[in-house]
Structure 1
Amino acid sequence: MQKNGGIELNQWNEKLSAPAASLAERQAVGRIALEHKHTYRILTEGGELLGRVSGKFAFEALATSDYPAVGDWVIADVLEAEGKAVIQRVLPRTSSFSRKAAGFTSDEQLIAANADYVFVVSSLNRDFNVRRIERYLVAVADSGAEPVIVLTKADACLNPEHYMEQLKSLGDLPVFVVSALDGTGIEELLALLGPGKTGVFTGSSGVGKSTLVNRLIGDARMDTGGIRESDERGKHTTTHRELILLPNGGAIIDTPGMRELQLAETEDLDASFPDIERLSESCRFRDCRHQAEAGCAARQAVAEGELEEGRLRNYMKMQRELAHVEQRAKQQEKLQEKRMEKRTRKRRKGERYD
């Protein structure tokens, strides 16, 4: 039984059994359901707690991705009388779905952890953009989670096959056509999210993520509205990432809509563009940029109608973007080394005066 926002550990990852068996007194294993300015809502077997990381944790964290994220499993000291907790460590992640943080940094922003599936959501209307879906799939490829495409608002679409046809260039991926209004495809989605399974819903604003989430959980927990007839977009959108437990024992993580998903340094284009990678092996020059070089197999494939021009352009755009992110990452790595050296000198200086 789940109680007061609690979670049954035996329904989840078998790897939790060892940490749970070796807890110190007044410690608990919990899962991060919500994060706001380094305050966390944690689901434990004993119920729901509010928590923050310990001072030691904060001191040893080198990057924002070291901090707990929604979906993370953590070990925390429980302050039962106050209904609070102090997070001591994050358990190893089985998957991590991230993007590049906003601004001029190369840091990764962890969107969700320990997901089995990342549902890339798009709507069956004018908002549909296969190139945007392609970008999301690149971000999912190295996450450790399985990508799934979800096409919403099927009730308002007369020809979903038109959109399905455009997805064929993305490879053999599971695609669900759903409607939160009439229930089309809902049971099939729920079948993926059985006991111990977690799915992250991501996509642009207004594609119907939160309305779909509400249908899956059976209530109106997320703040949503109808569709504006003028542009077929939702009136309200999710403003935070939140893990929600499903009645069947699974969990879903809803995320805010993104204007554009910025790629992180760790992304690898090979997994998402295997067709272009194969063509690259046949190019005359090993460092072919697929622009105007002689003997470019990718350009030849475009000319012969075997490869979409838009797909190749998108690949090249993301290739340039990742090269830029990698350059910034190297600069930040040097700064991080300097910080570590400074921290080590301070620690040694303190030890001399003890």
Structure 2
Amino acid sequence: MKVLLTGAAGFIGMHTAIRMAQSGHEVIGIDNINSYYETKLKFDRLKELGIDKEEIRYNKKVQGISNFTFVELDIQDAGNLSALFAFEQVDCIIHLAAQAGVRYSITNPRDYIDNNIVGFFNILEVCRQFSIKHLVFASSSSVYGNSDEVPFSEDQKTDHPVSFYAATKKSNEVMAYAYSDLYKIRMTGLRFFTVYGPWGRPDMAPMLFAKAGVEQKPIKIFNNGKQSRDFTYIDDIVEGVRIVAESKAETENFKILNIGKGNPDVLMDFISILEKELQLQFVYDFQPAQKGDVVTTFANTEKLEKLGYKPKVSLADGIPKFVTWFKEYYKV
């Protein structure tokens, strides 16, 4: 297939680009390389994809590793986005670009409207205009809110998001359903559960804890550590994305799927393994629960498993891989 991948300079995006290119697909990656967090990390991810920072120009196609090309492009730029699709004849879109971050959405909600609502609308429009065969888009486990029904199933009601970020992801699912139904376009939403691993985002727990530990600063542990997450290693995530992108069309055009490990871990256990691998003793700063945070995430992955998905990496195996990368990248 020819695949258009948004968010290619992001954490999941970089790994997905590599996996899809290795599988023989032609991948065109786009990203606006915004400054939500350090752009150096984004440019270094692109370097892993064979993209030289000095060659990047807005709306210019740059050749990277085999089967991969990159275009710096903002999904809010509807005109240039449409022009790219008119030229490239794309089969499948893997849409991972978004304004991420639960806590950031509390203080900067407009960024989420611009990127997650307007930007997503532009993606839906190119699906309609250019007869895209399949849109695979990133939703989030955050749409479940603080549900007591565990494990979380795709059939549960998701009407009470506890963060504005989650509200925009729920909106994406509803918008996609309408477009899929109206224009008979195949669309699959993936509810990602706490993804971690090499090249991860610096605003997420593994990086925050590791950096604070190395710098001998206290680590903030919210809800006094009484929370658990369905931590899912990046390799399992991108394999799931590949499986979905390559899956054959079924009778139903629209589908929502959980993508996680399917086995939550207590946050304090995650911290303990991270301490052991870094050979550090963290200083704990226990904090009350924060607005927008959920207590537990736990994925029921039965529907995705029917397509061949089988997560393989445990926390005990995944954290050492993250730490090896962290030490090498940050030279600690």
- Shorter-chain TM range is under 0.3
Larger fraction in strand = 1
Higher relative contact order (CA 8 A, sep 6+): 2
Greater Rg over alpha carbons, structure: 1
Q: What TM-score, normalized by structure 2, do the two folds share?
A: 0.27
